[in-house]
């Protein structure tokens, strides 16, 4: 029997941004229904890999650890709603060139390990509210939040009765 683990590459916010996002999620949940995501779960998914066989994980860990140092910023100024999964999210009016470049380079590296990039365009966002019955009352996030990112992480998602729990398997922090 093959053992697999649910993996993705992500960026995590700094503590200040995480607190601001958590406060926004609390505020929005009262307007949109649903429940705010826990602050510790807020992230940008760059590459969702799904269930990965245990034998393929070591090269992914090495990829994360060897990734060049990052230094970028993303401005979150937009709120959106994915009706089908019922998620309210924060993102940007204009795409962040730094994030788009990072995503493209990551998928190029992942292709060398047999992973295929999704066919849809990358839309960086942070999920704030799950099970949302309706969209946010406004489309702008005011005031905008600046998210400085400096490391890439390979993360395992473990599902249980309490929802998703994330565990960082590797990152590129010295």
Count structural domains, the chain: 1
pLDDT at 174: 61
Q: In what order do the strands lie in the sheet with 153-160?
A: 44-53, 4-11, 153-160, 163-171
pLDDT at 117: 94
Q: Which of 31, 113, 125, 151 is catalytic?
A: 125
Would you say 174 and 100 are in contact if contact means Cβ atoms under 8 Å apart?
Answer: no
pLDDT, one tens digit per residue, over 31-69 is 999 999 999 999 999 999 999 999 999 999 999 999 998
What is the reported pTM? 0.92
**CATH number of the domain bearing residue 146:** 3.90.1140.10
Low-confidence ranges of the chain (pLDDT < 50): none
- Going along the chain, which residue ranges are E strands? 4-11, 35-36, 44-53, 72-82, 87-91, 126-130, 140-149, 153-160, 163-171
31 tagged catalytic: no
125 tagged catalytic: yes
- Residue 119 domain boundaries: 4-171
**Measured CA distances, 164 to 2, 7, 41, 64, 155 (Å):** 22, 12, 8, 22, 12
Would you say 157 and 135 are in contact if contact means Cβ atoms under 8 Å apart?
Answer: no
């Amino acid at each position: 029997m093959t053992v697999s683990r649910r993996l993705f590459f992500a960026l995590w916010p700094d503590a200040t941004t995480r607190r601001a996002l958590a406060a926004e999620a609390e505020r929005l949940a009262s307007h949109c229904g649903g429940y705010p995501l826990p602050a510790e779960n807020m992230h940008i998914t760059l590459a969702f890999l799904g269930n990965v066989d245990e034998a393929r994980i070591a090269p992914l860990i090495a990829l994360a650890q060897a990734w060049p140092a990052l230094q970028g910023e993303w401005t979150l100024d937009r709120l959106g709603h994915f009706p089908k999964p019922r998620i309210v999210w924060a993102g940007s009016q204009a795409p962040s060139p730094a994030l788009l470049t990072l995503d493209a380079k990551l998928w190029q590296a992942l292709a060398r390990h047999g992973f295929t990039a999704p066919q849809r365009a990358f839309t960086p966002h942070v999920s704030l509210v799950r099970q949302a019955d309706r969209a946010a009352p406004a489309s702008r996030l005011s005031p905008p939040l600046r998210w400085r990112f400096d490391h890439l992480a390979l993360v395992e998602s473990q599902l249980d009765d309490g929802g998703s729990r994330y565990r960082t398997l590797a990152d590129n922090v010295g």
